[in-house]
Amino acid sequence: MTTTAPASAEALLAGLDDQQRTAAETLLGPVCLLAGAGTGKTRAITHRIAYGVATGVYPPNRVMALTFTTRAAGELRGRLRALGAHGVATRTFHAAALAQLNYFWPQVIGGSVPTIVDSKARLLAHAAESIRLKLDTATLRDTAGEIEWRKVSQLSIEQYAKAATSRSLPPALTVEKAVDLQRAYEKLKDERRQADFEDVLLATAGMIAAEPWVSQQVREQYRFFVVDEYQDVSPLQHELLQLWLGTRTDLCVVGDASQTIYSFAGASPQFLLGFSSRYPQATVLRLEQNYRSTPAIVETANRLMRGRAGALDLRAVAKPAGSSSPTVTGHPDDAGEARAVATAIAAEIAAGARPESIAVLYRINVQGAALERALTDAGVTFQLRGATRFFEQREVKEAMMLLKGASVTTAAAEPLFKSVSDVLRSIGWTQEPPETAGAVRDRWESLNALMALAEEAPAGTTLRQFVEDLVERQSAQHEPTVSAVTLATLHSAKGLEWDSVYLVGLSEGLMPITYAKTPEAIDEERRLLYVGITRARKRLRLSWSATGLGRSMRREPSRFLREIERR
């Protein structure tokens, strides 16, 4: 049956391109929007929901729009309100599940809902004490990540024990110790009548699956579902979504397999790529017109992903004024690379660019330290996104305190390298990096950056002089203002965009990272670089350096650069 939309509803379709308009008009049944970077996916799904409300197909209080971050949910909510779609529930998976848990728990279980664990690492520290394990904060944080991965992957502790043999655990933990610690964590959590965020999803799914009257109420409340960033859904979130839907198929998913960068946390693009197999009657639409970036930047992104599963063929719509072709440059070392980037950014700002329209992106947090110093020296104001400033990191503060103490007692004639390495070894630094990702690796990188500064200090530098230099570096870090260049890791840059993007550290060992050894891990690194490239609107600068701070081992340019430069 065809329904003639009122003029106000038709106005919602004005300004959409052909693919976006088709997406907005396809209101019922399973729909999959394969939406590439910069193709206006948020515009498409918000106009789709608003059009459904305006035409009377969607009662607004029967629609649930789901995403993965509070910021993204807030953006969806704001856009929908601006389009007149008031009353639509826009939430993260966890927020939606927690609301249902709070409502149903007293009726199903009785009593109040367990309190939510505010810090897994803190509870894990207590659990470790109960089984006489002494672990540092970084190991506890990585173990918290393992717990999250286990639960969203829907593995029991026994199943995890088998899977853990092929996972990169913190060096301080064997599989047996990791399993014992998780058991102690669960026991302590239950004794304290607490639940973590993954428990919220598990408990909500369990109640819907076990109690017919709960599932009936949930399905009566929400009939139409939209899931943004569907490539990031985990097995547990997918199961909960299926329980919310029941036998209905009014589901619209939106995603881009090329932007799956959270596989380490349990995300899987297979739910997106297999959508049409699960729903043979599904409408599958492709949004491939890129409105963000120049043709040259779009082609760079396409070259990187060509031939990969689920990769879209982006097409640039227009060439923004003031744009230029992407460049690739090599530098002798990290410090030289940082200085070159800072000089180029200062020139851009002097030519009229707004600092907030510029970003420098890198693979791991510790790479920001050299950039902070170079930008400070160049008089460029910057702000860090999604990371703690180098000298404010806990391990760096601890090392600074110990180095200050040692500078008072250490003989002036002792070589600086030995003095600093002795201090850093006492808090866990080793010459070889740990073969693992996560907080343990981040901690090592931060301590190694201090070691590298000692290695590159002028000959004859005493420990006291070295510490004075560190204090001077620390004091030079003034607080950023709103009008500032952004420094961010590639992970924290997802969902954002800037006129100028500098991608630094594109060397083997950093991109891809050293612990990415399997084909699947290398593919994740590729997708991470793709996310970085597609953040740029007008200008993209890619760079690498032949050596790191204080390191004699030479690096090679990233294998991905060869693909990007290949015509």
Burial class (CB in 10 A: 0-12, 13-18, 19+), 332: exposed
Sorted by sequence, the CB contacts under 8 Å of residue 53 that are 6+ apart come out as 59, 60, 63, 84, 85, 88
Residue pair 48/85 in contact by the 8 Å Cβ criterion: no
User: What are the start-end ranges of the E strands in 235-311?
Assistant: 251-255, 283-287, 289-290
Nearest to 128 by CA among 216, 88, 212, 188: 188
ω before 512 within 30° of 0 (cis)?
yes
Nearest to 16 by CA among 51, 43, 50, 49: 43
Nearest to 500 by CA among 341, 363, 380: 341
Q: What is the pLDDT along the chain (567 residues), one digit of tens a residue?
A: 344 444 478 888 988 999 999 999 999 989 999 999 999 999 999 999 999 999 999 999 999 999 988 888 888 888 898 898 989 999 999 999 999 999 999 999 988 899 999 889 999 999 999 999 999 888 998 999 999 999 999 999 999 999 998 888 888 899 999 999 999 999 999 999 999 999 999 999 999 999 999 999 999 999 999 999 999 999 999 999 999 999 999 999 999 999 998 888 888 888 999 999 999 999 999 999 999 999 999 999 999 999 888 899 999 987 777 778 899 999 999 989 999 999 999 999 999 999 889 999 999 888 888 898 899 889 888 888 866 667 777 888 888 888 888 888 877 778 888 888 888 888 888 887 777 766 777 778 778 878 878 877 778 888 888 888 787 767 655 333 346 899 999 998 988 999 999 999 999 989 999 888 889 899 999 999 999 999 999 999 999 999 875 555 688 999 999 888 865
Sorted by sequence, the CB contacts under 8 Å of residue 106 that are 6+ apart come out as 112, 113
And the tokens for 548?
């790191």
Secondary structure (DSSP) of 392-461? GSHHHHHHHHHHHHHHHHS-TTS-HHHHHHHHHHTTT--SSPPS--SHHHHHHHHHHHHHHHHHHSPTT-
State how far the Cα of 181 lies from the Cα of 133, in Å rounded to an integer.
8
Q: Strands 31-35, 327-333: parallel, antiparallel or unpaired by DSSP? A: unpaired
Q: Chain centroid to CA 9: how far?
A: 36
At 109 the three-state DSSP class reads coil
Sorted by sequence, the CB contacts under 8 Å of residue 396 that are 6+ apart come out as 390, 446, 447, 450
Q: Which amino acid is at 106?
A: P
C-alpha distances in Å from residue 424, one per residue of 59, 104, 399, 431, 455: 61, 52, 7, 10, 13
Residue pair 304/528 in contact by the 8 Å Cβ criterion: no
Nearest to 11 by CA among 65, 88, 84: 84
And the tokens for 205?
């799914």
Q: Strands 358-362, 485-489: parallel, antiparallel or unpaired by DSSP? A: parallel
Residue pair 194/115 in contact by the 8 Å Cβ criterion: yes
Q: Residue 115 pairs with which residues in a beta bridge?
A: 194
And the tokens for 360?
């420098």
